[in-house]
Structure 1
Amino acid sequence: MAHALLRTSAVVTAAALCAGLASASASAAAGPHRGALVSAEHLRTLSSGQVAGQLAAAGYEHASVRNGVDTYRLVYRTVDAHGRPTTASGLFVLPRTGRHRLRTVSYDHGTTSYKGDAPSTTGDGFAPAPALTYGAAGFAAAEPDYLGLGLGPGVHPWMNVPSEVTASVDMLRASRAFARRHGRELDRKVLVTGFSQGASAATALGRALQNGSDPWFRLGALAPISGGYAFRTAEIPALLNGGVEPKSGTLYAAYLLVAFNRLHHLYDSPAQVFKSPYDETIEQLFDGTHTGEELFNSTPGTIGDLLTPYGLKLLTDPPERFAAALKVLDGTCQWTPKAPTRLYFSRNDEQAVNANSTTCRTQLGTQVPLIDLGTGNYQGSRHLGSNVAGTAAIVRWFLTLK
């Protein structure tokens, strides 16, 4: 589910990315400790007025701004989708307050395919705006880039829930270690949120924290926004029947098949799944080095123009290996939260159809409020607009929690 996939990418120089990737990859072999810091780079110091200006320019509310912030790019040790040591990066925001002990927000971002669009590497205001919102409200905010994005080596395993969880947990560990170096302590109760792709990542992270995946951190509250929680039963049917905006649906179908093939071997050749001429280019377009604009301009407008009959059959009747992978993806809401939980969605979302959120609410339990954010939009997208409205609503809610 997208935030930057369909938009022009922010510019990050290839030289800077390659240098960071080489450094991070070389350091990965130096030690096995998940969450250990590899490097920390100070990005910006912003006054409260500057944060408010940044948020306003990005289209976000700034009523909750109370203080300035310092932002950092952390590179840390984690594991890849196969459990092998690797590194990942993320954005960490510390509030400029005198408080020693800080309440902590973990925010998981929506879909992007370009390394330079990740929260810690983009100059675009949309991706880092939630972390800035929480930091300027007085929280410490951790926003992982996930595997293969930002300064992470390799390609991004899109919608791979287990690696989203390990990257998020390890980002929290790295953030705690970094905060201690600056004389701050992160509260063990984590306020977990996320948008779109990051919403299902957040529900899975909440479950992991509740189940003791880390010896220090625990789930303090959960508030995901507009997630793709039910791909097999809700999202994929909507991609195929027009319930999802056609161009968005085409890109999601392509990303799903390319990313899942890399992990689960769904096809032997792109030509089995993708029509000519896209079979020659589609996998390269999702290698992390192509901007959202390139991806948009190099793909057709409908799924029917992209996929072969076999490609369509993979989606309508997934073989056993694909079905098993989708079951993991669709299982992030199958638990009962013990911490305060709210689900947020946007009515008639053109990308994450509402059946995703109603399914998740049924699975989590009727005690969980399902909050309609209305029909506001961001750059013409109701889906993106839900992240803007949801972030404003959630920071207000988090500020009321003890």
Structure 2
Amino acid sequence: MKKTCFLILLLIHSLSRTDAQTLVSDTLLGGKTSGELIAQFNFPFIQYGVNYYRITYTTQNVHGVTDTVSGLVVIPADTSKMYPRLVYTHGFASLKLDVPSFNVTQNGGEGSIGLLFGGLGFISLLPDYLGMGLGKGFHPAFHAASEALTSADMLRALKQFAALHNVHFNNQLFITGYSEGGHASMALHQLIQTRLSGEFAVTAATHLSGPYSMGEVMRQWTLNDSINNNVAWIPLTVLSYQEAYGNIYTNLSEVFKAPYFTPIGQYLSGMIDAGQMGSQLATLLITIEGSIRPFRMLQPAFQQAVLADPNHPYNIDLKRNNTYNWVPLAPMRIYYCSADEVIPYQNGVLALDTMIALGATNVSGSDVNSGAGHLDCVTPALTNTVFFFLPLRQIDTYVSTTEQQQIPILMEPNPAHQSVTLSHLNANGHVSIVDLNGQLMYNEDLHLDQITIDLSGFENGVFVIRYLSNGKTWQGKLVHYGF
């Protein structure tokens, strides 16, 4: 008993010393059978029941300070399989709790998208974002770096969650997201390819109706005197980028005229939500200007400076949150609807054209419903996503250690520090070691009855060792610690 407790404590310690282990808590919210999911979505391709959890995990806020955020994890209920991972990033939510981990089963709740993908055999991760759900403070909407990091850190937290809940995943990773989530999913995809390729590899991605071109398409669409019912866009981006970079204003009244800065300031302080802010601003514009022309909320000096100076801080901030100027390597699809009144479809067109011009070879996109507005575009965009992902999805059978011990292998020590020894091997066999991301760490054919493996190049954490010989298999979990 003492040895078991020691091993558990050592495992927890070794996990906590890696930057990949960021889980704080998990709470089982519920479960659904495959039949219930088929009835809910009217989609006969669903194969699995699911269990779904709210987790909290650590990430960094826009100032690089450790923060705790929440998200939804949906797990296929059949634990005999190894599933691919899928990240879905949600659209902008006016209410702090209108996020996946708090809005799972309600009609229209984006958490239900996690249930759909879980039923299709994906371990689905849906981050709530900074400042949303159980997150503290202000949500920096359309801030690419924090959108991407909260998603990447949720993938890291999954490893510890999986170890605690007998969940198994392979090395496949799918990414998708809608609206603000399309911006976030593109940012995550780019982050993984350009900076985290040693940790994750994207299998395929779709980005749906997102504002990828903040500095061109969205700027042109909002910074003019036309009628635009998306009245909250300018305040949201000004406030978000001021929070992230601190370079736009000293006082809110430098940007917004009275009385518009009053509800904007109330939203910033948390007194009202984004929906209430937008409603109050629309009422004020109709009363004062006769129509909803958000550009008229801005101070004339700010208007002139932003329009005349491409190096104005607001223009710079918009451009630094573009997410399309790169060359994706994994298969990517961009789906949009040309009648979208919230996020202009030209975002998708510009992203596609730019990526292809830069040399991307497996990128395409389409107008999935030319007559659909922003809300009505969700279903065709997700439907196309499902049928793009399903042929690429791999689900493997997981065989537990006890089921695989047909060969009486001895592995010691475990936990291990500098090396681990396998003995009682057959004359001819093969040993492989993978980490919890599925990355191959060791791979050797053997002709000995014993081998000692050097672990000096291994990070702290849990690894899976597999030995194959004469049609029989042994598999075990190895804990490596470097302290």
TM range (shorter): 0.7 to 0.9
Q: Who is 1:143 aligned against? A: 126
Aligned pair partner of 1:351 in 342, 346, 368: 342
Aligned pair partner of 1:85 in 66, 89, 93: 66
Aligned mates of 1:51, 1:295 — CA distance in 2:
36
Q: Who is 1:188 aligned against? A: 171
Aligned mates of 2:37, 2:270 — CA distance in 1:
29
Aligned mates of 1:138, 1:298 — CA distance in 2:
44
Tell me: CA distance 1:288–1:108, structure 2 relative to 1, closer, same or farther (3 Å).
farther
User: Which secondary structure does the structure 1 equivalent of 2:110 belong to?
Assistant: coil
Aligned mates of 1:112, 1:106 — CA distance in 2:
18
Q: Who is 1:118 aligned against? A: 99
Tell me: CA distance 1:74–1:327, structure 2 relative to 1, closer, same or farther (3 Å).
same
Specify every segment of 5 or more residues in structure 1 that has no aligned partner in the other structure, as ranges. Answer: 1-29, 56-60
Matched, 1:274 2:256: yes
Matched, 1:97 2:92: no
Matched, 1:234 2:217: yes
Shift of 1:77: 0.8
Aligned mates of 1:311, 1:35 — CA distance in 2:
45
Contact 1:44–1:71 (CA<8 Å) still a contact in 2? yes
Contact 1:34–1:78 (CA<8 Å) still a contact in 2? no
Aligned mates of 2:237, 2:313 — CA distance in 1:
14
Amino acid in the other structure paired with 2:127 = P
Aligned mates of 2:65, 2:332 — CA distance in 1:
33
Aligned pair partner of 2:313 in 297, 302, 321: 321
Matches within 5 A, 1:2-401: 33=19, 35-55=21-41, 62-122=43-103, 124=106, 125-213=108-196, 215-241=198-224, 246-248=228-230, 250-264=231-245, 265-287=247-269, 290-300=272-282, 301-313=292-304, 315-316=306-307, 317=309, 319-330=311-322, 332-365=323-356, 367=361, 368-375=363-370, 377=372, 382-401=373-392
User: Which secondary structure does the structure 2 equivalent of 1:349 belong to?
Assistant: coil
Contact 2:204–2:331 (CA<8 Å) still a contact in 1? yes
The superposition leaves residues 229-279 of structure 1 with CA deviations (integer Å, 9 ceiling, x where unpaired) of 112211121124578x7221x111111112112223311222222222221
Shift of 1:315: 4.7
Aligned mates of 1:131, 1:171 — CA distance in 2:
14
Contact 2:117–2:124 (CA<8 Å) still a contact in 1? yes
TM superposition score normalised by structure 2 = 0.69
Contact 1:344–1:373 (CA<8 Å) still a contact in 2? yes
Aligned mates of 1:120, 1:396 — CA distance in 2:
25
User: Which secondary structure does the structure 2 equivalent of 1:71 belong to?
Assistant: strand
Superposition RMSD in Å: 2.4
Say how many residue pairs are matched.
361
TM superposition score normalised by structure 1 = 0.82
Amino acid in the other structure paired with 2:186 = T
User: Which secondary structure does the structure 1 equivalent of 2:203 belong to?
Assistant: strand
Shift of 1:200: 2.1
Contact 2:176–2:206 (CA<8 Å) still a contact in 1? yes
Aligned mates of 1:283, 1:318 — CA distance in 2:
26
Aligned mates of 1:215, 1:232 — CA distance in 2:
30
Shift of 1:191: 0.5
Amino acid in the other structure paired with 2:111 = P
Tell me which protein shows more helix as a share of its residues.
1
The superposition leaves residues 95-154 of structure 1 with CA deviations (integer Å, 9 ceiling, x where unpaired) of 122443111111111112431112112364332122121111111100111111111111
Tell me: CA distance 1:221–1:320, structure 2 relative to 1, closer, same or farther (3 Å).
same
Amino acid in the other structure paired with 1:280 = T
Tell me: CA distance 1:277–1:64, structure 2 relative to 1, closer, same or farther (3 Å).
farther
Contact 1:35–1:78 (CA<8 Å) still a contact in 2? no
Aligned mates of 2:325, 2:235 — CA distance in 1:
27
Q: Who is 1:25 aligned against? A: none
Answer with 1 or 2: which has the greater Rg: 2
Shift of 1:74: 0.9
Contact 1:113–1:287 (CA<8 Å) still a contact in 2? no
Aligned mates of 2:392, 2:163 — CA distance in 1:
24
Contact 2:263–2:277 (CA<8 Å) still a contact in 1? no
Structure showing greater relative contact order (alpha-carbon pairs closer than 8 Å, 6 or more residues apart): 1
